[in-house]
Structure 1
Amino acid sequence: MRLLLSAVSILALTPGLSGAQTYYDLGTLIVSGGLTPVEEDNLGRAVTVVTEQDIEERGLITVQEALRALPGVSVSGSGDNFTQVRIRGAEVNHTLILIDGIEAAGGDGEYTLSGLETAMIERIEVLRGPQSVVYGSNASAGVINIVTRRATPGLTRAFTLETGAAHRAAGFLAWRGDRGGISLALAHLHDLGYDNSGDGGERDEIRRSTAILSGDYALTDDLTVDFTLRRSREYSDYDSTNYLATDPGSYVVDDPTQFSEVDELTAGIGVTYAMAGGRLVHRLSLATTQNSRSNNGAVPIETQTNAAHYRLSFGLDGAPVETSAHLLNAMLEWEQDSSSSNPLYDRASTSFALEYRGEFGGLSVQAGARYDDNEVFEDATTWTLAAAYDFGGGWRVHGSAGTGVVNPSYFELYANDFGYVGNPNLRPERNRSIDLGLEMPVGTNGMVDVTLFHEVLTDEITAVSTGPGTFSYINQIGESPRHGVEISGRTQVTDALSLRMAYTWLDAENPDGSVKIRRPRHELSMGATWAFAQGRGSLSADLRHVRGNWDTQFWGAYSTVELPAYTTVDLAAQYDLTDRVTLVGRVSNLFDADVMDVWGYAGRGRSAYVGLRARF
């Protein structure tokens, strides 16, 4: 089940949750790396983590901004209120987005990033390559797990205020005692926006409010309960498109009457019980995702996913689960989703998974398999194998191979509208992948990771004509190959200056050899952070270059065209006015470059912001 509740999943690893609990320093844990968290140095899969410090130093206010500079990740949107994410050139719905381990999208749809704010985020984990063994469908190309802040020992109070091209306010209140903790995070973003059509007309704004309540409590030394509850509401403007356009300027039309309203709810509750001195751990959890979206005041479309998950973890070497060098995880999951757009149909599955993790000196191995018993279409089996070897001295090799699946949507299965007739005999789309990476030291405090990958999508679902004005869906014959290289690196040049970079080269094709759209061939980001005034302040600069991006011109000849290359530069600064209050400011797209990731839609121009951040 896609229910690994980030911080909740590592309750047994956190001090102060129970009076007799032993604390183990396991280094940096990748919460979404397996059926239980995996130490980053042992993980064979390709992963990138955006930390709270990264977010603050670079002045990032939305999740899509944080994702744009990552290797293997492509972000595009028809305005900031409709942003899509692709990993390694896969389709949008092949990347699973989680918020605190619960899937953000309800039903069968993709999750559209818009005003998802960073004010309450602790970290963002991005795993590249198939993760279906752990998360099932829609994790065929990768997983993005957004981990929000949780209570730390004592009383925590924090707030952020910002104004400029967007107004932002956020507050965080939390308390943790000897046996548990509780936290409340509130955030409001009013992005004044810009004209998505690019002709200088009405700004297309976004207003989003979010509340997150979470907590955990150790009922006994061995039994812990936890919960998380998130509610978000959003309003955004957007422009119209004219498919009868005769020139580029008349395709995206400024339209002040168009608006969208979104209501999101995610909730989860879990119980963790440890036996045999922590060698055997049971985890039972329930989760729900309920989303609603309406356009221009129409009746909203409501989507929902409900899931139940049981996990058994066993230390094969006799050690507690959290420190075991040979760990076996077994998982049983039930999941059901539905949509009000197709009230007579839903999808349900029962799944079984087994995962082994082992450490053999410098070698670490992760292996797993999963079987999905689907009620309304073909069953699926997926597998994964990953390994990493630490040579010492900063040299490390990592690699993974595996398969992933994406289930057919309601519309593809049951459509009976707009000239489309569904095909209930569709099979899940299947992705197979292999990657190999090498981490190398740079200087005394730096690291570069070079990863090569090759992925192939088969049984891709596509629309076909069945007659004049009528269509249906089939599983395509042939393969859609994707391969490329991901390079990322960081180095601390001096005590005051650090550098970072990421580069992705991607070649993604359809079965007929044509180029996949909205997947840039080249994406480069370079950044630097300089600390000054004995560490009281910092200045960050980030450059991003995009080239070789293709999209469909949805008017006239409806041809696929290459979009113009562009380069943007962002600046961000912060300075500690006191030990508790920090002045922050930033400028995005400093040189006001023309940006276009989706044909006809303008990107944001130069924007400036200033604010305060305080913690008590």
Structure 2
Amino acid sequence: MRHLLSAVSILALLPGGAGAQAYYDLGTLVLSGGLTPVEGENLGRAVTVVSAEDIEERGLTTVHEALRALPGVAVNGSGDSFTQVRIRGGEANHTLILIDGIEAAGGDGEYILSGLETAMIERIEVLRGPQSVVYGSNASAGVINIVTRRATPGLTRDFTLETGAAHRASGFLAWRGERGGISLGLSHLHDLGYDNSGDGGERDEIRRSTAILSGDYALTDDLSVDFTLRRSREHYDYDSTSWMATDPDGYVVDDPTQFTDRDERTAGIGLTYEMLNGRLVHRVSLATTQNAQASNGAAPTHTRTDAAHYRLSFGLDGAPVESAAHLLNAMLEWEQDSSSSNPLYDRANTSLALEYRGEFGGVSLQAGARYDDNEVFEDATTWTLAAAYDFGGGWRLHGSAGTGIVNPSYFELYAAAWGYSGNPNLMPERNRSVDLGLEMPVGTNGTLDVTLFREVLTDEITAVSTGPGTYTYINQTGDSLRHGIEISGRTQVSDTLSLRMAYTWLQAENPDGSVEIRRPQHELALGANWAFAQGRGSLSADLRHVRRNWDTQFWGAYATVELPSYTTVDLAAQYDLTDRVTLVGRVSNLFDVEVMDVWGYAGRGRSAYVGLRARF
């Protein structure tokens, strides 16, 4: 099987693609909402979508920038080169990050966003709450699916150049005909960086280059093939930490010798076959993720995940799958991962998932269950139930409940270094969740969504001391409780002015009642977009306020301390010089506010950028 999956790179050179690829907004289709795409108005789960238009208008250049203003999402970084995402108070490795539906992290680790750019992104879908029925382990708190651009009808040629605090260049070349299309996206980033220690020392730079090749082709009226290939290479600098620090200034130390190199490769190929006039659809796909990371010139650590999927979709009411009011999905999945950090071990599981979706008047229902047969630790069963009710007039009630799991990591299972001993008897962490939300109209064409949620994490894995300088891992007794409220809204005030907002209140506690770190209790985002010069230009402003965020002070008493609150303002503008060329500019952290999301690490100060975007 591993040799077959390695051949994806060769097979992908054949004409192929997502035969039924569509172009849509949240009101039409959510790709990651179930085992097959779900109509947005029928989805009971909490979801936010950042579109390519949002990214362009707000001048967002990295994925972690795009995620910062979303409800229920906390983004923390020890500098821009090491950025983690936490959804609804879950751990960073409880959120599964996908790129075009393929796991971004190989092996057992979480994906660090770092310099991941928005240059070739069509949309970012963020589902909050457990998604393990569809995606298995590590989707316990939520899923982020980054969907890259695909070919649209005809020939497309786009180019972007930007300079300032960072230099960026990207190009997109694509063609689509009657039976399929192919696209190639290239991007390069050289972020001049800043001193992560905050001491005014050398800048910690990021250099990242990415290439994405994708395509689709209808072999017959009923059979289509699709593929995607992605390669990213990155080099970034970082600073040292001193475990012997006696004051805050001595903890994060400016160090020009520290650097890391990353090499990311993902590939996928799939066949889709329709029968019975589209009422029965078969989908077979293979995917591989192969990443390598090395620090300071040392031998790299290689991580890998290989997966094979078979999915059957059947319109129970006799209609084609894409329009069926009652739909049954079944999926059989095999997945294996490995890491060179533990070459004697790997992990594999075989999974079966079932999903039903039905529409009953104004009520939409989604229910599913999954069984994971794990080779090296306890098997797991997860379930989900979601519903939405459309009252009409823009009023919609939505809610969901379900469970999620996170498998133990290689280090937690098999550690034998730095004083740690692994525990091969660890069980997966388990999350139980429920949420309820109301979507309501604002003005003539705006919406406001208010969602309440509660999550309970059981069997949380933690390190415990076994003696002086020695540790192991256990499943904690008791529950880690997380609950809060998510509010998001958007309205078009006039033909030229639109407003947006998001607010999250979160209470996250460990089993002993102590506060969970790096999960702000209050996060507020306000934004506005103003169009001028008969639509040739636009100005966007974003305000972000963070308060009551906690982190561990890694010196002295190693106490949990509250980080300073902060408020930042970002501006972005664009103006069409011609029908094909646009001048763009932006300023981040306009008032040069001191920002700290991780204890001891300085956030980025005021930075300015200017560039051109051309489309042909």
After TM superposition, is the score higher than 0.5?
yes
Distance 1:26 1:530 in 2: 22
Q: Deviations along 1:564-604, whole A, 9 cap, x unmatched? A: 00000000000111111110000000000000000000000
Instruction: Tell me what 2:243 maps to.
Output: 243
Distance 1:13 1:550 in 2: 43
Q: Is the 8 A contact 1:10 1:37 kept in 2?
A: no
| CA distances 1:402-452 after superposition (whole Å, capped 9, x unpaired) | 000000001111111111111111100000000000001000011100000
| Distance apart, 1:9 and its partner CA | 9.2
Cα distance in 1 for residues equivalent to 2:116 and 2:390: 37
RMSD of aligned Cα (Å): 1.4
After TM superposition, the score normalised by the length of structure 1 is: 0.97
Say if 1:561 and 1:285 are closer, same or farther in 2 by CA, change over 3 A. Answer: same
**Residue of structure 1 equivalent to 2:517:** 517
Cα distance in 2 between the residues matched to 1:26 and 1:46: 12
State yes or no: 1:135 paired with 2:135: yes
Match of 1:12 in 2: 20
Cα distance, 1:469 vs. partner? 2.0
Provide, for residues 153-176 of structure 1, a one-character-per-residue CA deviation record: whole Å limited to 9, x for no partner: 100000100000000000000000
Residues 431 and 138 of structure 1, relative CA distance in 2, 3 Å threshold:
same
8 A contact 2:18–2:224 mirrored in 1: no
Residue identity in the other structure for 1:503? Y
What letter corresponds to residue 487 of structure 2 in structure 1? I
Partner residue in 1 for 2:314: 314
SS of alignment partner, residue 29 of structure 1? coil
Identify the residue that residue 584 of structure 2 maps to in structure 1. 584
Alpha-carbon contact 1:231-1:265 (below 8 Å) kept: yes
Instruction: Quote the Cα distance in structure 1 between the aligned partners of 2:464 and 2:588.
Output: 42
Q: Contact 1:13–1:322 at 8 Å: present in 2 too?
A: no
2:344 is paired with a residue whose SS is coil
Give the letter aligned to residue 330 of structure 1: A
Structure 2: any 5+ residue segments left out of the alignment? 6-11
Distance 1:608 1:26, change over 3 A: closer
Report matched runs for 1:468-487 at 5 Å: 468-487=468-487
Instruction: List aligned pairs for 1:446-595, cutoff 5 A.
Output: 446-595=446-595
Task: Give 2:540's aligned amino acid.
Answer: S
Aligned equivalents of 1:257 and 1:399: distance in 2?
A: 50
- 1:104-183 → structure 2 map (5 Å cutoff): 104-183=104-183
2:9 maps to: none
- Shift of residue 10, structure 1, vs aligned partner: 6.2
Asked if the contact 1:160/1:169 (under 8 Å) is kept, the reply is: yes
The 2-side partners of 1:312 and 1:122 are apart by: 27
In 2 relative to 1, CA 353–436 (structure 1 residues): closer, same or farther, beyond 3 Å? same
Instruction: Indicate if the aligned counterparts of 1:9 and 1:31 stay in contact, CA closer than 8 A.
Output: no
Mark the CA change 1:503 to 1:570 in structure 2 (over 3 Å): closer, same or farther: same
Q: Quick one: which amino acid aligns to residue 450 of structure 2? A: V
Q: Distance in 1 between matches of 2:227 and 2:35?
A: 18
Runs of 4+ with deviation above 3 angstroms: 8-11, 24-27
Give secondary structure in 1 for the equivalent of 2:282: strand
- Quote the offset at 1:559 in angstroms: 0.4
Output one character per residue of 1:225-248: Cα deviation in whole Å (capped at 9) or x when no partner.
Answer: 110000000000000001111111
* Conservation of the 8 A alpha-carbon contact between 2:130 and 2:433: yes
Query: Aligned pair in 2 of structure 1 residues 25, 140: CA closer, same or farther (>3 Å)?
Result: closer
- 2:326 alignment counterpart: 326
Letter in 2 for 1:470: T
Kindly provide the amino acid, as one letter, of the partner of residue 326 in structure 2. H
Determine if the alignment matches structure 1 residue 357 to structure 2 residue 357: yes
For residues 255-306 of structure 1, what are the alpha-carbon distances to aligned partners after superposition, in whole Å with 9 as ceiling and x for unaligned?
Answer: 0000000000000000000000000000000000000000000000000000
Aligned AA (1:54): D
> Residue 65 of structure 1: SS of its match in structure 2?
helix
Contact kept, 8 Å, 1:12 with 1:322, in 2: the verdict is no
Q: What amino acid does structure 1 have at the position aligned with 2:461?
A: I
Distance 1:13 1:330 in 2: 21
Aligned mates of 1:437, 1:27 — CA distance in 2 = 17
**Partners of 2:237 and 2:144 in 1: how far apart?**
26
Decide which moves more: 340-349 or 415-424: 415-424
Cα distance in 2, alignment partners of residues 434 and 452 from structure 1: 8
Q: Which amino acid aligns with 1:528?
A: A
Distance in 2, matches of 1:578 and 1:53, equals 19
Distance 1:35 1:82 in 2: 31
Instruction: Give the SS at the match of 1:30.
Output: coil
Give 1:97 deviation, angstroms: 0.2
Alignment match, 2:598: 598
| Shift of residue 472, structure 1, vs aligned partner | 1.0
Once the two structures are superposed, the pairs formed by residues 27-42 of structure 1 within 5 Å of their partners are 28-42=28-42
Partner of 1:342: 342
Contact 2:18 2:225 in 1 (8 A): no
Once the two structures are TM-superposed, the CA of residue 560 in structure 1 deviates from its matched residue by: 0.4
Q: Is the 8 A contact 2:174 2:183 kept in 1?
A: yes
Equivalents in 2 of 1:12, 1:209: separation in Å?
A: 30
Q: Which one-letter code corresponds to 1:12 in the other structure?
A: A
Matched, 1:94 2:94: yes
> Per-residue deviation at 1:14?
4.0
Cα 1:436–1:9 change in 2 (3 A) is farther
Q: Specify the SS of the correspondent of 1:107.
A: coil
Question: 1:181-260 residue pairs with structure 2 within 5 A?
Answer: 181-260=181-260
Could you tell me how far apart the structure 2 residues matched to 1:327 and 1:285 are?
Answer: 21
Q: Deviations over 1:352-406 (max 9, x none)?
A: 0000000111110110000000000000000000000010101000000000000
Q: Give the match for residue 377 of structure 1.
A: 377
SS of structure 2 residue aligned to 1:80: coil
Per the alignment, in what secondary structure is the counterpart of residue 257 of structure 1?
coil
Distance in 2 (alpha carbons) for counterparts of 1:567 and 1:346: 45
CA contact (8 A) 2:31 2:38 kept: yes
Whether contact under 8 Å (1:9, 1:37) holds in the other structure is no
Closer, same or farther in 2 for the Cα pair 1:139/1:25, shift >3 Å? Answer: closer
User: Secondary structure of 2:20's match?
Assistant: helix
Q: TM-score normalised to the size of structure 2?
A: 0.97
| SS of residue in 2 equivalent to 1:112 | coil
In 2: Cα distance, 1:536 partner to 1:161 partner: 19
Which amino acid letter does the alignment assign opposite residue 428 of structure 1?
Answer: P
- Aligned equivalents of 1:25, 1:575: Cα separation in 2: 24
8 Å contact kept, 1:9–1:36: no
> Shift of the alpha carbon at 1:468?
2.2
Asked if the contact 1:405–1:431 (Cα under 8 Å) also holds between the matched residues in 2, the reply is yes
CA drift at 1:26: 10
Which amino acid in structure 1 is aligned with residue 64 of structure 2?
A: Q
The Cα offsets for residues 108-130 of structure 1, whole Å up to 9 and x where unpaired, read as 00000110000100000000000
**Structure 1 partner of 2:366:** 366
Q: Does 1:284 align with 2:284?
A: yes
* SS of residue in 1 equivalent to 2:53: helix
**Percent of aligned positions with the same letter in both sequences?**
85
After superposition, give the CA deviation of every residue in 1:196-221 in whole Å (9 maximum; x if it has no partner): 00011100000000000000111000
Contact 2:331 2:354 in 1 (8 A): yes
Q: How many residues align?
A: 603
2:297, 2:560 → 1: CA distance? Answer: 34
Tell me: CA distance 1:35–1:567, structure 2 relative to 1, closer, same or farther (3 Å): same
